A = this chain, B = another copy of it.
Amino acid sequence: MTAFSVQLPDGAAEPEGLLDAVRDYERALMANDLEALDRLFAPGESTLRGDAGGILVGHATISAFRKGRGGAPRRELMTVFVHPIDADAAMVVAVTAPLTGGRGQQTQLWRRDAEGAWRVDVAHVSLPTPAVNGTIWRIVGTPLVRGRDTAELASQTVAVKDLFDVAGFAMGAGVPTFLAESTPATRNADAVEALLATGASITGIAQTDEFAYSIAGRNPHYGTPPNGAVVGALPGGSSSGPASAVALGQASIGLGTDTGGSLRVPASYQGLWGLRTTHGAVDARGLLPLAPSFDTVGWLTREAWTMRAAATASLDLAQQVLPVPARYALSAALNAHAEAGVRDAFDDAVTRLCDAGLLDDVVDVDFGDIDALVETFRTVQAAEAWAVHGDWITAHPGALGADIGARFAWASTITTEAEAAARVALAAARLDLEAVLDGRTLLLPAASSVAPPTTADAAAVERTRAGTLRLTCIAGLTGRPGLSVPVMTVDGAPVGLCIVGPRFGDIGTIVAGAKFHTALVQPA
């Protein structure tokens, strides 16, 4: 450690032993000496450590964070401001110089315990900002593409999932090898053009799970985008980059796709509005398909009105006249696939909506064998995904990470006979599901759980996926719109209430969601 300058207020004396403790801390941080760092942070439940990722509360949580990160960035201390408070407390504010350039700041409240040892009670750490967060974005501009000179969405900024054509830019689809072979698009995807035409600007092209074939939000090449609502949790996918961009305030509209939950799940995990539109309602031209029978376009936003504006800009006028849902269904049998906390939050929300007079006509329905429905969905999805991407994947061994690589490998094993049988089952399921729903709008949790921690192992992520797919597949199988509305939490973490409205009832579904939101979330 090089010498740093110490600044004390005029007339103040350096608290005895404090700077030794600061030096000890710096040594331990640079050596990633976890034992010493644990000792130098105050024990107990109220110790705080905050950084750009959020606030960690309690010694155990902070300790676990340190274990997981594998060391702090290399740095030097430049200036250390010491503000003594009393004999046993002092503020230490340090200007840090990371070896990678820029300046950081570290603010700490140090307190002396009964044994006379100095420990950190509160810490606030700031590091230099990178040019761009590559887990969220692949390319950004100021803006990347300016919107047309029209007023409707003039102040909106769009994060486009890297699955849409943006004129002048190559498409990456979350796969660097695919990106390397892509040539710049010559025109915008219809969904991109619709937003630009009404004045929104494109901030950038945002990351996705590889070929959008996941709902976890992990990408082995570009990293895992941060969850904007839950510190250390998965963002949800596959529209992970657009979701994190919107949750973190880096864009106001995320343009994404949803085949099996890729908009509703990240919306649920990050407390956003997320709409999967009616299948076919927004033209898929310029969109890289995954499974065309289920692929839909949609948006992620922080507010209902922005969602409505994005939908209005993108849907035909003829699709915007269906009335707001009035007859509702829910399914206890279906919801059983959600975790207990999510079920409780959902039941509570429904009760409160009934109390508010917003669910006068609601019935419980049973869709029968949910596992069979999911299997039908997954089989057709896999057969189509392999039809779309199989040749390229076969020609590029090693281009995909383990998880999605294995999923495509399984997709490659779907036989023509199995696919044909699943397509027959799909046609029957559509009729059955609509018969059960009888024109009603379905309410259900948008995901089976809150966002799993990033440290979750593959098996745990797969279990979560299995539960969530049982909930999300109803919209996929019926082609109905599905809107995740941010009105529920479990232990502080968000989970969405999903509204599966009638086909082409996208706008009415948003209006219903806005009413629910007003009733359930205390207005400002």
A55 within 8 A of B: yes
A122 interfacial by beta-carbon distance below 8 Å = yes
Asked whether, in the complex, the Cβ of A103 is within 8 Å of the Cβ of B228, the reply is yes
A235 at the interface (CB under 8 A from B): no
Contact with B along A25-50 (1 / 0, CB 8 A): 00000000000000000001110101
Q: Tell me whether A85 and B85 are in contact (CB under 8 A).
A: yes
Q: Which of A33-90 contact B (CB under 8 A)?
A: 44-46, 48, 50-52, 54-55, 57, 76, 79, 81, 83, 85-86, 89
B302–A101 CB distance below 8 A: yes
Number of contact residues on A: which range applies? Answer: 35 or more
Bound together, the chains give a CA A95 to CA B8 distance in angstroms of 29
A245 within 8 A of B: yes
User: Which residue of B has the minimal Cβ distance to A134?
Assistant: B142
Closest to A122 in B: B91
A367 interface residue per 8 A CB criterion:
no
Q: If the complex has contacts A2-B524, A124-B105, A144-B139, are A81 and B48 also in contact, measured as CB distance less than 8 A?
A: yes
Complex: A111 Cα to B93 Cα, angstroms: 16
Task: Assess whether A312 is interfacial by the CB under 8 Å rule.
Answer: no
User: Separation in Å of the A319 CB from the closest CB of chain B?
Assistant: 28
Question: Considering the chains assembled together, what is the distance between the CA atoms of A9 and B43 in angstroms?
Answer: 12
Q: Could you tell me the distance between the alpha carbons of A100 and B251 in the complex, rounded to whole angstroms?
A: 9
B residues within 8 A CB of A76?
524
A122 B142 Cβ-Cβ under 8 A: no
Query: Which chain B residues lie closer than 8 Å to A130 at the CB level?
Result: 249-250
**Whole-angstrom distance between the Cβ of A92 and the nearest chain B Cβ:** 10
A95 CA to B52 CA, complexed, in Å: 11
A91-B121, A105-B55, A124-B105 given; A45·B9 CB < 8 A: yes
Contacts of A302 in B (CB 8 A): 101
A273 within 8 A of B: no
Q: For residues 116 through 166 of chain A, which have their beta carbon under 8 Å from a beta carbon of chain B?
A: 121-122, 124, 126, 128-134, 136-142, 144, 157, 159
CB distance from A66 to the nearest CB of B (A): 18
Residues A465-524 near B (CB distance < 8 A): 522, 524
Question: CA of A247 to CA of B246 in the docked complex: distance in angstroms?
Answer: 28
Q: Are B101 and A252 in contact (CB under 8 A)?
A: yes
* A251 interface neighbour in B131, B138, B252, Cβ under 8 Å: B131
Give complex CA distance A180, B238 in Å: 33
| Contact A131 B101, CB 8 Å, known A46-B9, A124-B107 | no
Q: Which of B95, B102, B157, B252 contacts A249 (CB 8 A)?
A: B102
User: A222 to B109, alpha carbons, bound, how many Å?
Assistant: 39
Closest 9 CB pairs of A and B: A101-B249, A134-B142, A102-B249, A9-B46, A131-B250, A107-B124, A139-B141, A102-B248, A50-B105
Extra 12 A-B pairs, beta carbons < 8 Å, given A10-B45, A107-B124, A109-B109:
A2-B524, A50-B93, A54-B103, A76-B524, A83-B122, A86-B89, A89-B89, A131-B136, A131-B245, A132-B142, A134-B142, A140-B140
Task: List 7 interface pairs A-B (beta carbons < 8 Å), by A numbering.
Answer: A8-B46, A54-B95, A76-B524, A105-B124, A128-B248, A129-B133, A138-B142
